[in-house]
Chain A
Amino acid sequence: MSQLVLTAVIVMFVLAPAPIAGQASSARAKTPAARGAWTPPRTTWGAPDLQGIWDFATITPMERPKELAGKEVLTAEEAAEFEKRTLEQRNPDRRDGGSQADVGRAYNQFWWDYGTKVIGTKRTSLVVDPPDGRIPPLTPQARQRAETRAEVLRRPAAGPEDRNLWERCILGGNAGPPMVSGAYNNNVQIFQTPEQVVILNEMINDARIVPLDGRPHLPPSLRQWRGDSRGRWDGDTLVVDTTNFRDPTNFRGSRATLHVVERFTRVAADTLLYEFTVDDPQTWTRPWSAAMPMTKTEAPIFEYACHEGNYGMVNILTGARAGEKAAEEAAKTGSR
């Protein structure tokens, strides 16, 4: 069996050797002009026009699956197969895995909107650096923090603070910064003025207002849930630099020391290349980068006022209290 897998790995590599070398580092290394001499439309004041609603739903995983080690790009056939298999795996309209897994799937397929396609470049991971497509290892302190958080989530919540920020409707799981495709609401709208850019995420409908006038970041004592963003133009690319996060804000285990640099480049009329680099010495052993092309959509963005009716949080807390009461009663009965 292992020989068969090995054969398959070699075979897949042989099937698609040509595009790998060419596309691997192109996203970051080349200027937009070098990518194909396409010039983005301009605003009335002459800035590259990034405005509109962009859809970033994709099933391309953040990290390259271990089975695809060494393979950066899928062929069209492999991509189709990957999409088919991934969607079959994710489809909640199945009942295997026991009731624990079943309750986790929550609802049938109709409610989920994580996309059906891999990204246009057919890369096997959103991570482009390190070149192996894997997020660098966590530091020992970050591993310890992750274990502590997991332990808190496992026990019945004493209050809302024990649950994660998305369940509390404070931050959207895919809205960032940095943005990463999630289960639904994978849409962002960009507005521009000469002095500012507004990045409006559908998830939790949070708007980041990004000044472009070169002002410095807020003083270190001022910390915000989504950090403090400052923008500038680098040729036709909008660069957004974000610092001043709060400690509870947690991007894959990060802390307040998280530093995010996002790059938005319109590489075609309907494609916005979104790239980001994250660094947090308290979390990862080195900085890392990802690239996720977004697709222009004419469909509207909808409000997602998460606090409106977050009955889920009430139910989680009343469920925890009911569990405690039941345990108390069982203890009393047992001691009689």
Chain B
Amino acid sequence: MQNKVSVLVAGAGLLLLLVAPPALAHHAFAAEFDANRPVRLKGAVTRMEWINPHAWIHIDVKKPDGKVEKWMIEGGTPNTLLRRGFTKHSLLPGTEIVVDGYQAKDGSMKANGRDLTLPDGRKVFMGSSGTGAPRDGKDPTEVKK
């Protein structure tokens, strides 16, 4: 028994070495967004475009001087949202969100939605961190409608 346990541990150690290649994505994000321009934006959703190949969330970001900047935030395909049970009623206009991402290379007010959270830190799009099982619904921080 002792032997079998150590054998399994050794096997697990080996599997640790197997680094899977990164997932194929629709486009090379580094060609669109600038790794040297990380942004953190807080604003209210004005609308969400459920379009292919990528969904876009529009937010109004209030600057300290009172001016409002209109930002567009890129997400993945709406098909995945639908499969996760996310609907057009899940992220309504007026909802305050915090966007963590990278600004577009052309310098316009566009960014990828690297992480989108609500002001209290919960994720807008729940992805069962670490379990890799986003459909299991076990993440208590999931935003449900």
- Decide whether A and B assemble into one complex: yes
Interface residues, chain A, with chain B CB atoms under 8 Å away: 4-5, 7-9, 11-12, 15, 59, 61, 65, 67-68, 77-78, 81-91, 93, 99-100, 102-114, 116, 153, 157, 163, 166-167, 169, 173-174, 182-185, 202, 299, 302-306, 308-313, 315-316, 318-323
Q: Chain A residues near B106: list those with CB within 8 A.
A: 315, 318-319, 321-322
Tell me the interface secondary structure of chain A in the complex: helix
CB distance B54 to A311 under 8 Å? yes
- Pull 30 A–B residue pairs with CB atoms less than 8 Å apart, ordered by A: A8-B13, A11-B7, A11-B10, A15-B11, A65-B18, A77-B11, A82-B18, A85-B20, A90-B23, A93-B115, A93-B129, A100-B35, A103-B35, A109-B129, A109-B132, A110-B84, A110-B125, A111-B81, A112-B23, A113-B80, A113-B134, A163-B27, A184-B77, A299-B83, A308-B52, A310-B53, A319-B34, A319-B105, A321-B106, A322-B105
C-alpha spacing A93/B106, complex, angstroms:
26
Q: Which of A110, A183, A318 contacts B24 (CB 8 A)?
A: A183
CB distance B11 to A81 under 8 Å? yes
C-alpha spacing A184/B24, complex, angstroms:
9
Q: Chain A residues near B80: list those with CB within 8 A.
A: 110-113, 184
Q: How far is the CB of B32 from chain A (nearest CB, A)?
A: 5
CB distance B27 to A166 under 8 Å? yes
Residue B2 CB within 8 A of the other chain: no
Q: How far is the CB of B47 from chain A (nearest CB, A)?
A: 13
C-alpha spacing A312/B128, complex, angstroms:
27
Digit string of B122-143 for contact with A (CB within 8 Å is 1, else 0)? 0101111111111000000000
CB distance A316 to B35 under 8 Å? no
Beyond known contacts A12-B14, A65-B18, A108-B123: 15 more, CB 8 A cutoff: A89-B19, A99-B102, A104-B22, A104-B28, A107-B113, A108-B114, A109-B134, A113-B80, A167-B27, A182-B24, A303-B52, A316-B32, A319-B106, A321-B106, A322-B107
Digit string of B65-92 for contact with A (CB within 8 Å is 1, else 0)? 0000000101111111111100000000
C-alpha spacing A68/B20, complex, angstroms:
13
Q: How far is the CB of B129 from chain A (nearest CB, A)?
A: 5
CB distance A173 to B127 under 8 Å? no
C-alpha spacing A195/B19, complex, angstroms:
45
Q: Chain B residues near A320: list those with CB within 8 A.
A: 31, 105
C-alpha spacing A184/B77, complex, angstroms:
8
Q: Chain B residues near A311: list those with CB within 8 A.
A: 54, 56, 72, 74, 110
Determine which residue in B12, B106, B110 has the highest number of CB atoms from chain A within 10 A of its CB, and name it.
B106
Q: How far is the CB of B39 from chain A (nearest CB, A)?
A: 11
C-alpha spacing A108/B29, complex, angstroms:
14
CB distance A167 to B26 under 8 Å? yes
C-alpha spacing A15/B4, complex, angstroms:
9
Q: Chain A residues near B83: list those with CB within 8 A.
A: 113, 299
Q: Chain A residues near B13: list those with CB within 8 A.
A: 4-5, 8
Q: Chain A residues near B127: list those with CB within 8 A.
A: 93, 108-111
Q: How far is the CB of A6 from chain B (nearest CB, A)?
A: 10
CB distance A312 to B126 under 8 Å? no
Q: How far is the CB of B65 from chain A (nearest CB, A)?
A: 25
Provided the pairs A5-B17, A85-B16, A104-B29 are in contact, do residues A315 and B110 lie with their beta carbons within 8 angstroms? yes
Q: Chain A residues near B35: list those with CB within 8 A.
A: 99-100, 102-103
C-alpha spacing A326/B37, complex, angstroms:
15
C-alpha spacing A105/B113, complex, angstroms:
10
CB distance B27 to A316 under 8 Å? yes
Determine which residue in A108, A114, A202 has the highest number of CB atoms from chain B within 10 A of its CB, and name it.
A108
CB distance A174 to B76 under 8 Å? no
Q: Which of B23, B74, B133 contacts A114 (CB 8 A)?
A: B23
User: 4 nearest interchain CB pairs?
Assistant: A87-B132, A319-B105, A111-B76, A109-B127
Residue B30 CB within 8 A of the other chain: yes
C-alpha spacing A162/B110, complex, angstroms:
23
Q: How far is the CB of A61 from chain B (nearest CB, A)?
A: 7
CB distance B74 to A312 under 8 Å? yes
CB distance A309 to B130 under 8 Å? no
Residue of A nearest to B33 (CB): A103
CB distance B75 to A111 under 8 Å? yes
